[in-house]
Amino acid sequence: MPGPADKLLHHTRVAKTLLGAGLIEPTRPDRLVQAGRSLLRWGTSSGGAVAVTAARAPHQTAVIDELGALSYGELHRRANALASSFAAHGVRPGDGIAIMCRNHRGFMDATVAASRLGAHALYLNTMFAGPQLADVVAREGARAIVYDEEFAALLGDVSGIDRRFIAWHDGEGTAADPLLEDLIAAGDPAGVPPAQEPGRVVILTSGTTGTPKGARRSHAGLSSAAALLSKIPYHARERTMIAAPLFHSWGLANYTLGVPLATTFVLRRRFDPEGTLRAIARHRATALVVVPVMLQRILELPQETLDRYDTSSLRIIAVSGSALPGPLATRVMDQFGDVLYNLYGSTEVAWATIATPEDLRAAPGTAGRPPLGTVVKLFDEHDREVAFGQTGRIFVASGFPFEGYTGGDTKATIGELMSSGDVGHFDAAGRLFVDGRDDDMIISGGENLFPGEVEDLLAGHPAIREVAVVGVPDEAWGQRLKAFVVLQEGASADADELKGYVKQNLAAFKVPREIAFVDALPRNATGKVLKRDLA
């Protein structure tokens, strides 16, 4: 247990980090008083964060989307009005509000209004099919839904929802549900009285190994912000383009971190590789938030297209959500400069490690090192800490663990550390490498194999665009590795060539016994490969 001196040192480091990022800055006395009142009224919830930032920097642009720009003062007043309209339509504190929106102001409006009302925000994957949507909404008990009109047809099988609101619509619209803009126009800009209990957020796990689970989270504090800022050099009042889905924990984390920094968020409803570069150049964004497959799609653009847009304003490309292949990390930095930061974590543990550009140059496949206040340890199947250099189950204490799945179960814990669900090892410099899911390990002919090492190697082959390796049953060996390969456009390679490539670089027992060539890998909305579909 940390003693008083350790706690004092930690708090000093937190304050120094926040000060360096500009989160603590000189403020006019009248605005400081108003910010204090907002903090007392709303606390550190997402609704409170917007209120405090609106008091400190009311004219600072909060969001630039396809409808234009909104200031923090406007976002604050819109959230108040929307919360009062939600209440007028029968939404009560403690109710669940499902939010199925792409990246635009409506997502932010609904999130902040739900928090002000004391309702719980349930973020839905925009790639859900109708039955999956109905199952998740029923399981989580949402009573209202805010959705983009393009998803209206999916709501036909959803039961239990008696209040529906449209966040985004194109053209005249066909649904009869009220629009958020109309609710905002009709609502009371003074808002609603603070709820006795602040609203929580429910984030769905990726569902790559089964049905997505709901993970409850309270609101992050200053220590959580300092942890990320200790490795990723965000600064107050800069412009961040969030291309990763806001409904996903990575996109949402960057939104949550950015509000106290008075960040201007640049949002586009759909990811488009060239459109992303165009928006960065137009708005002089200093940070880009993505998942790895987005970086891959950007680098697949012709070099003349990449050179067409001035992206020199970028100080940060922050990536998370799935494994970042080492060769991809190197290519990104060669194109955009040493501005790449790779966060490894999960919905449950939040963050575990962050790789800086220096880490990624020295060891391109690394997940990095623990940030401020975070502890990462590796354990064997008997809950004993493994020796240095050995592979073990990854357990994390980040100071911001989730509060359990909405179904009542939770992740495995050892003391104050929680399982990330992955296995990995540390190198001599203390950098973490993630070897794969703890349930991805296969035993082939008595040897323990993790697909991640083989995937990372094959990803560096010049003919390969993307690859996934899974374990499949084998009568003779128990299990064996099978690789699914997508070739670069115009490239050619055969199975024997790729097997030979693996054998030249790894132990012979790690060579996939079968290689299948496919047109594309199945992925979810955040770019994670759905290995259960392949297996």
pLDDT at residue 401 above 70? Answer: no
Q: How far is CA 144 from CA 95, 128, 166, 520, in A?
A: 8, 17, 11, 36
Q: What pLDDT does 249 receive? A: 87
Q: How far is CA 326 from CA 77, 392, 493, in A?
A: 45, 21, 21
Q: What share of the chain is helix, strand, coil (3-state, %, to 5)?
A: 35, 25, 40
Provide CB contacts within 8 A for 181, sequence distance 6+: none
Q: How far is CA 82 from CA 42, 111, 167, 444, in A?
A: 16, 10, 11, 57
pLDDT digits (tens, 9 = 90+) for 316-375: 999 998 889 898 999 999 999 999 999 998 877 889 999 999 999 999 999 999 999 999
Band (476; pLDDT cuts 50, 70, 90): low
Most confident of 52-66, 120-134, 388-402, 480-494: 52-66
pLDDT digits (tens, 9 = 90+) for 148-203: 999 998 888 788 888 999 999 986 555 689 999 999 999 999 999 988 887 888 88
Q: What pLDDT does 208 receive? A: 46
pLDDT at residue 209 above 50? Answer: no
Cα–Cα distance between 155 and 148 in angstroms, integer? 11
pLDDT digits (tens, 9 = 90+) for 274-287: 999 999 999 999 99
> What residues does 470 pair with on adjacent strands?
482
Q: What pLDDT does 217 receive? A: 56
Kindly state the helix (H) or strand (E) to which residue 326 belongs, with its residue range.
helix 326-336
pLDDT at residue 219 above 70? Answer: no
pLDDT at residue 53 above 70? Answer: yes
Model confidence, pTM: 0.85
- What structural domains and CATH numbers belong to the chain? 442-534 (3.30.300.30)
